[in-house]
Structure 1
Amino acid sequence: MLEGVVADGGQNSVSALARSIDMPVATAHRQVTTLVEEGYLTPVGRGRHVAGARLLRLLQRLDEKQLIVNVAAPAMHRLAVKARTIVQLGTLENDMVTYRLKIGQGAAGLFTRVGMQLEAYCSGMGKVLLAHLPPGERDAYLANGPFVALTPRTIVDAGALACELDLVARQGYAIDDGEIAEDLTCAAVPIRRPDGMVPAAISISQSMSARKIGHDEVIELLHATAREIEQVAFNAAE
């Protein structure tokens, strides 16, 4: 009923909305009365209602990236169990990867932490997020190169990084093989919105000297989890 009233935008009465969603009118009125009392809806006359102050405050606190994190948490827990290693979710802010979820065996021993920001050019999630920026934004990022080498494997040349990002966009995943830290390998895939934009990425990290699962299985697990997150997050958003 709440969804129906908000989507209607105050055009129709509670009775009309109830009939449109095949709900008993008396039930609809009881539900709307409760929602008004709790501040989620506001009456605007003639039996019509719009979103109330309490609902609007909640919406202001819940941005799209936080919604994805909330939806992703249980799926990421399941991924961590299957992968038997560390899984993470990140977003891009001010050209830096913000780590928003970190779960799995050995998580406490990895240098990343929730809320931390790291350079994007040298990590799997960072490459995914950069690869799916609008062309102008990606070009502006690359113009800030050359980049600092964190290990001998780090890509520091802007031209080489551009080629790497093109590859990531084509193949649908990114690999970091010891580019951000020696003996650490990471694979990452995008979380895509229905319009193709990529607001987040997820990854699996392993020690290069003690890998628990192979490349193909890692990519398969990541893509399956990404699809699960997308379905729930963006169906809910609609």
Structure 2
Amino acid sequence: MRPGDIINGLVKGLAVIECFDEDHASLSITDVANRTGLERATARRCLLTLTSLGYASYDGKFFRLTPRVLNLGHSYLAATPLPRLLQPFLDQLSAQTNESSSAAVLDGTEILYVARASHRRVMSINLGAGARMPAYCTSMGRILLASLPQSAARDILDRSQLIAYTPKTKADLPAISTELAVVAAQGFAVIDEELELGLNSIAVPLHNAKGEVVAAINIGAQSARASTSHMIATFLPLMRKIQSELRPLLR
């Protein structure tokens, strides 16, 4: 790819969209310039363009994204068969375990949820297709990181903001690297209250017919209902079965 092949205006516009998040839902032009590193005039033009296209609203001081932005994520979900293929299997897994199950892919330093079967709410935040979580401290994230060459996984960890969400969170490089080696060897990942107190999860990779890891699936449950040992003994065999059934279907 040559430098001339890149449309810089599109790059800047996407950066502006991505700078809005749960903690920064309303932003001024100056806020956006500071968060993206763009010149204030450039940030203003991007915001006004997004507003004219219906992707943002403006009250005279602050800009907010509109629901139309969801069309961008929906385009990905609609264009890939993965969510549609996985959903029946997640529904089956959730029905068998009476717990919520999800599927995700790796996107930068985060995992992106592409499908979910929600039996009951287990986290303090709502998760669904399009939701994102840090890769380093989630069961699916560790599965996906462990599937990468060590140098690639280390690069992602170096770019991650390692936060100890609970006293149990592995949030330093040596501990995470050791855990990834364990995950790679055993073929599954277990999170014991590292992301949120009272929440456990277990994940396995999904391989395509060529043996490449294309996604991960997990089951999340309140620790009072399902200890990590219970998950390994009871949930893992069910996940292994689905893992095997999906392999010839994934391209």
- Give TM-score scaled by structure 1 length: 0.67
Q: 1:66 to 1:216 in 2, by over 3 A?
A: farther
SS at the partner of 2:250? helix
d(CA) in 2 for partners of 1:174, 1:214: 11
Partner of 1:195: 210
Q: In the alignment, is residue 161 of structure 1 matched against residue 161 of structure 2?
A: no
Shift of 1:183: 0.3
- For residues 126 and 197 of structure 1, the distance between their equivalents in structure 2, rounded to whole angstroms, comes to 16
- Aligned letter for 2:162? F
Cα offset, 1:107, TM superposition: 4.0
Q: 1:144 to 1:108 in 2, by over 3 A?
A: closer
Name the CA distance, whole Å, in 1 between partners of 2:209 and 2:250: 10
- Say if 1:158 and 1:218 are closer, same or farther in 2 by CA, change over 3 A: same
TM-aligned CA distance change 1:228 to 1:142, over 3 Å: same
Contact 2:109 2:160 in 1 (8 A): no
Alignment of 1:1-238 (within 5 A): 66-107=80-121, 111=125, 112-144=127-159, 147-211=162-226, 214-234=231-251
Whichever residue aligns with residue 94 of structure 1, its letter is G
Q: Secondary structure at the match of 2:80?
A: helix
- Would you identify which runs of 4 or more consecutive aligned residues in structure 1 move more than 3 Å? 107-110
Distance 2:144 2:241 in 1: 18
The answer to whether the Cα contact below 8 Å between 1:145 and 1:158 also exists between their aligned partners in 2 is: no
Cα distance between partner residues in 1 of 2:162 and 2:231: 30
In 2, the alpha carbon distance for the partners of 1:119 and 1:125 equals 10
Post-superposition offset of 1:68: 2.3
- How many residue pairs get matched? 174
How far the C-alpha of 1:109 sits from its partner, in A, is 6.2
TM-score (norm 2): 0.63
Structure 2 counterpart of 1:161, one-letter code: I
Question: RCO greater where, 1 or 2, for CA within 8 Å and sep 6 or more?
Answer: 1
Query: Is contact 1:190–1:201 with CA below 8 Å preserved after alignment?
Result: yes
% identical equivalent positions: 25
The one-letter code of the counterpart of 2:93 is L
Kindly provide the CA deviation profile for residues 23-68 of structure 1, in whole angstroms up to 9, marking residues without a partner as x.
xxxxxxxxxxxxxxxxxxxxxxxxxxxxxxxxxxxxxx789x9322
Distance 1:119 1:62, change over 3 A: closer
Quote the Cα distance in structure 2 between the aligned partners of 1:163 and 1:67.
34
User: In terms of Rg, which structure is larger?
Assistant: 1
Across the aligned residues of Structure 1 and Structure 2, the Cα RMSD in angstroms comes to 2.4
